[in-house]
Amino acid sequence: MSASPSSEDPPRRRRGRRAGGADTRAGLLAAARAEFAERGFDGATVRRIAERAGVDPAMVNHWFGGKEALFTATLDIPLDPAVIRNEVLPGDPDEIGRRIVRRFLRIWDTAGNGGAMAVLLRSVTTHDVAARMLREFVTRALLRPVVERVAPDRHSERGAMVASQLIGLAMIRYVLRLEPLASAPEDEVVEAIAPTVQRYLTGNLGSTNPDS
């Protein structure tokens, strides 16, 4: 393969080994950003990212734990899909809507009123590459594993519905800052929004197309 060089690419040494340490980590991050931007989350491979960085693919697992976590690290937001799934999935299935909304709010609130997340959401609406990357990441790493475990049917439709409510909540609360939702306490938002997420995941979507 011939990876096109980018300004973010670290100097490459074919088959060479780095001394390791922060150097390797930074090199992998830069290589990952370039690879994700070029091929999207789905098309990117750990092997190619390692090759771009001039390190062994095992270094990706060593430093980041895998492709998902590496992608999250390039986004620079506090969002580890495995951690989130472990917090959201266990427990009463009828309460998963509540757990999802609460976790979602905490991710944003931790980032300081949206912070890095709001920046990401803005970039998503203006850059097609960012939109594609986030769409694939949210779908494959966050939504699908949850939806497939709890939803009875129509997984991708339910996933998209959940995404529509959550992204709209983020837009209103953190980007447009529409009151009173912008300043509403976490519990109040959870109570109001959770039943929607719960219905999208496990309830009746009332459609003319009962199975897709």
Binding of residue 161 to its own copies (CB under 8 A): yes
Residue closer to its own copies by CB (options 61, 139) is 139
Query: What is the rounded CA–CA span in Å between residue 34 and residue 192?
Result: 40
Using alpha carbons, select from 139, 142, 151 the residue that is nearest to residue 94.
Answer: 151
Binding of residue 163 to its own copies (CB under 8 A): yes
Binding of residue 77 to its own copies (CB under 8 A): no
Angle ∠(149,132,177) on CA atoms, nearest 5: 85
Buried b (16+ CB within 10 A) or exposed e, 68-92: bbbbbbbbebbbbbeebbeebeeee
Query: Using an 8 Å Cβ cutoff, are 88 and 100 in contact?
Result: yes
Residue closer to its own copies by CB (options 4, 209) is 209
Binding of residue 165 to its own copies (CB under 8 A): yes
By CB under 8 A, the residues from 105 to 134 that bind its own copies are 121-122, 124-126, 131, 134
Q: Which amino acid is at 202?
A: T
| Min separation Cβ 109 and its own copies, Å | 16
Residue closer to its own copies by CB (options 3, 172) is 172
Binding of residue 180 to its own copies (CB under 8 A): yes
| Residue 53, SS3 per DSSP | helix
| Residue 107, SS3 per DSSP | helix
Give the interface size with its own copies as a residue count (CB under 8 A): 46
Binding region for its own copies (CB under 8 A) out of 5-13, 55-63, 70-78, 179-187: 179-187
Query: What is the rounded CA–CA span in Å between residue 170 and residue 137?
Result: 17
Residue closer to its own copies by CB (options 82, 184) is 184
Contact footprint for its own copies (CB under 8 A): 121-122, 124-126, 131, 134-135, 139, 156-157, 160-161, 163-169, 171-173, 175-181, 184, 187-188, 191-193, 195-196, 199-200, 205-209, 212
